[in-house]
Amino acid sequence: MKWACGMISVPQRLHLAELTAASIRKAGFQLDLVRVDQHQDAFANFFLTLHEVYLREPKVDAYAMFEDDIVICRGVREYIEKSNAFAPRRYLNLFAFRRNEGHERGWTEGALCGAKPPADPTLQAGEGALALVWSNEGIRVLLSSRPMHDHSHHLFLSKCCQDGAVVNAMNLAGYREYVHTPSLVQHTGDETCIPKSGKPPDWRWGEYGLAKSFPGEDFDALSLL
């Protein structure tokens, strides 16, 4: 399979971005584009980077988008290719935490968001956008999605919450998010760099932002086959 991959970062986290890029390469991916956001607009940076990665490589088989504060197990790219992860109408979230933990080993549907009527009860929660993967068809569905473009008009969430924007757009297009147990990615960042995120200035992720099932950066994902 041929891949195209991007990563988003911010100036104050370039020290983490370097470590993340090294871990991504050990997992078998090559970063085609790293975009450093000067405007503290995480959603715009994510969507712009995704567009450029696709437009520069429109015919590859798969696309991955990473944030700048993760580590990832070795051999993940090859494991994805060999584990039949790319069934029709699904995309992959490589980070499993909170409601997406505790499943049997392998790929399973991500948790539901728990929306109450009149909201659609089949919509998924989309827990995190640290490391997302799409097929070629899936990325074209996402980039042309009306809900993704509408997200930039949201009064409170327009500069963040790309995980919710993605899962909403993909679900409404008939796609499901799939997560993996154990988590193939771990979160290394401890503070948000997004202004007006609703969190106080001294707020930290702590253990709340960690995947408890992550087996370690040196774990070989191919051993799961």
What are the CA-CA distances from residue 80 to residues 64, 77, 221 (Å)? 11, 5, 9
Report the CATH fold assignment for 3-224.
Answer: Spore Coat Polysaccharide Biosynthesis Protein SpsA; Chain A (3.90.550)
Stronger pLDDT, 66 or 99, i.e. the higher one: 66
- Return the structure tokens found at 122: 């089949």
Whole-structure pTM value: 0.91
Whether 203 has a pLDDT exceeding 50, the answer reads no
Q: Give the tens place of pLDDT for each residue, 158-188.
A: 778 899 999 999 999 999 999 999 999 999 9
- Return the structure tokens found at 48: 């712009």
Quick one: CA dihedral 82, 83, 85, 88, positive or negative?
A: positive
φ, ψ dihedrals at 157, nearest 5°: -110, 5
